[in-house]
Structure formats: structure tokens, C-alpha cells
């Protein structure tokens, strides 16, 4: 996806969220909650929800990697939105197959979004524990989507099945929450000496602890800006 395409995707997501908020406010304040108003509000909420599900695709496109996964995320989010909207506007008694298909695609969209969001945070410097956690959370997301599809299509009524499904959901949430925590805790922090020159001509040398040169530069610039300085240039010095 080109830079123009990435910007268009992000603008579309921002527009969908803004439209949802404005329509919801208008209906809540001035609407007469009839069937049409309810459907419009539900449609805008679906637009915002599936727009957020598509957001990690934009991150991957921006990074220029795993574009195949990004397209899968976009395709599932778009299909899930279209099927859900069709379900909302079909009437009070929508076709059973449409409802089941919409639920299945939505589950797959959530799973793909989870995988893409975690993948967008990964780097080659990730420790082995984070890589294993990513693989486990990816597998669990696919298992969870499969279980949801099985429950929908097989119309399972066993309480034991849904207890197990709930346990899988809790475990999946735990793995997703642990991923950024371990990522931050396990990446090796390296001291990086830098020379900063601001717009006034003042030069200072600082040593920043960070897991990469990019993060070190970001920290140094933010620190200087909090001090009221405007950075003109930044030079990387050799480590002693």
C-alpha cells in the first residue's frame, strides 16, 4: 500500500469514528428512538467498531511488513461490517445463515486484529520468551475464533462448552496483556551517548538508556523539549 493509501485508510477510520460520535449525539439528543433511528445508530457503531479492528492493518502497512496479514485484516473487517449491516437492515427476522456467517466473520476479524496488533509491536530484538508468547497468543486467537464458529454453526447448548470458551477468552486476554509488559521488561537497555544542538546554538551531550538508537533519540528529544528547547540536530557519539 502506498503512502497515499495509508493516509486514506487512517482518514477513513477517523471519519468513521467522528461520524459515529456525531450521529450518536444527534440521535440521543434529538431523535425519536424508532426502528429506523435504532438501525442508523447501530450501523454507525458497527462502522466505528470494525474501523478500529482494521487499524492494526494501517500499522503494518506503515511499517512495510506483513502486508499479507494486513490485507487479511482489512478484508475480514470489511466483510464483517458488510454482513453485520445487512443483518441490521434485513428486518426483525433475518436469515439464520446470514446471522451465523456474520458472527463467524466477526470472530475471525477480531482474531486477525489481535495477531496484527501484536505483530506490529515485534522487532528482531525481541527475546525468545516474547516470541513464544506471540506464537501462543496467535494460536489461541485462532482457536477462540474456531470455537466461536463451532458454537454458532453447531448451535451448541452445553454449559460446559461455554465455560471452556470463557476460560479460553480469559487466557487469551492474559497473553495479550502480558505481551507488551514482557516486551518492555525483557528488551536489553543499552547506554547511547548523543550530542544535541538546539536552535539557540547550545550543545549538550547526554547518555540515554534505551533498547534501540531510535528510542534513545526519541527520549533525548522529548527530554530537551520538556526543558523548553527546540532540537535542531542530534549526533550519535561513539560509546566509550
Same domain flag for 141 and 169: yes
Count other Cβ atoms within 10 Å, centred on residue 128: 8
SS (H, E, C) 3-36: HHHHHHHHHHHHHHHHHHHHHHHHHHHHCCCCHH
Same domain flag for 3 and 113: yes
Same domain flag for 91 and 195: no
Same domain flag for 29 and 95: yes
**Which set of grid coordinates corresponds to residue 160?**
460446559
Same domain flag for 210 and 155: no
Same domain flag for 170 and 206: no
- Which residue has better confidence, 124 or 236? 236
Place of cell 497515499: 4
pTM greater than the 0.75 cutoff: no
* Percent of the chain's residues with pLDDT above 90: 24
List the strands of the sheet with 190-198, edge to edge.
Answer: 203-210, 190-198, 231-236
- Which residue has better confidence, 130 or 149? 149
Quick check: 123 pLDDT over 90? Answer: no
What is the per-residue pLDDT across 180-233, written as a single tens digit (0 to 9) for each? Answer: 777 666 556 678 888 888 888 888 888 887 766 777 788 888 888 888 888 888
Distance from CA of residue 40 to its chain's centroid?
25
What is the per-residue pLDDT across 18-61, written as a single tens digit (0 to 9) for each? Answer: 777 777 777 677 766 677 777 877 888 888 888 889 888 888 88
Helices and strands, counts by H and E, the chain = 7, 3
Q: Print the domain residue range for 129.
A: 121-187
pLDDT at site 239: 67
Query: What mean pLDDT value characterizes the chain?
Result: 82
DSSP 169-180: HHHHHHHHHHHH
Quick check: 4 pLDDT over 70? Answer: no
Ramachandran angles phi, psi of 151, nearest 5°: -65, -40
Identify whether the C-beta of residue 219 lies closer than 8 Å to the C-beta of residue 210: yes
Identify whether the C-beta of residue 142 lies closer than 8 Å to the C-beta of residue 111: yes
Same domain flag for 15 and 2: yes
Quick check: 167 pLDDT over 70? Answer: yes
Same domain flag for 34 and 104: yes
pLDDT at site 75: 93
Same domain flag for 80 and 35: yes
Amino acid at each position: 500500500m502506498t503512502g497515499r493509501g495509508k493516509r486514506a485508510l487512517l482518514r477513513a477510520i477517523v471519519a468513521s469514528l467522528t461520524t459515529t460520535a456525531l450521529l450518536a449525539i444527534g440521535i440521543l439528543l434529538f431523535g425519536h428512538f424508532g426502528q429506523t433511528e435504532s438501525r442508523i445508530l447501530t450501523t454507525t457503531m458497527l462502522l466505528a467498531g470494525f474501523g478500529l479492528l482494521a487499524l492494526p492493518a494501517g500499522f503494518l502497512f506503515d511499517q512495510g511488513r506483513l502486508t499479507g496479514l494486513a490485507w487479511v485484516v482489512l478484508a475480514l473487517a470489511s466483510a464483517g461490517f458488510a454482513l453485520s449491516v445487512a443483518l441490521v437492515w434485513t428486518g426483525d427476522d433475518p436469515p439464520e445463515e446470514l446471522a451465523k456467517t456474520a458472527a463467524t466473520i466477526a470472530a475471525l476479524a477480531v482474531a486477525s486484529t489481535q495477531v496484527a496488533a501484536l505483530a506490529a509491536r515485534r522487532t528482531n530484538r525481541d527475546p525468545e520468551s516474547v516470541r513464544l508468547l506471540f506464537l501462543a497468543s496467535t494460536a489461541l486467537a485462532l482457536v477462540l475464533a474456531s470455537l466461536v464458529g463451532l458454537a454458532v454453526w453447531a448451535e451448541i447448548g452445553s454449559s460446559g462448552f461455554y465455560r471452556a470458551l470463557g476460560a479460553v477468552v480469559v487466557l487469551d486476554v492474559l497473553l495479550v496483556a502480558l505481551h507488551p509488559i514482557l516486551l518492555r521488561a525483557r528488551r536489553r537497555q543499552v547506554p547511547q551517548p548523543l550530542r544535541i544542538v538546539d536552535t539557540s546554538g547550545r550543545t549538550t551531550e547526554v547518555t540515554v538508556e534505551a533498547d534501540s538508537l531510535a528510542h534513545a533519540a526519541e527520549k533525548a528529544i522529548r527530554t530537551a523539549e520538556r526543558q523548553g528547547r527546540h532540537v535542531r540536530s542530534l549526533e550519535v557519539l561513539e560509546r566509550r
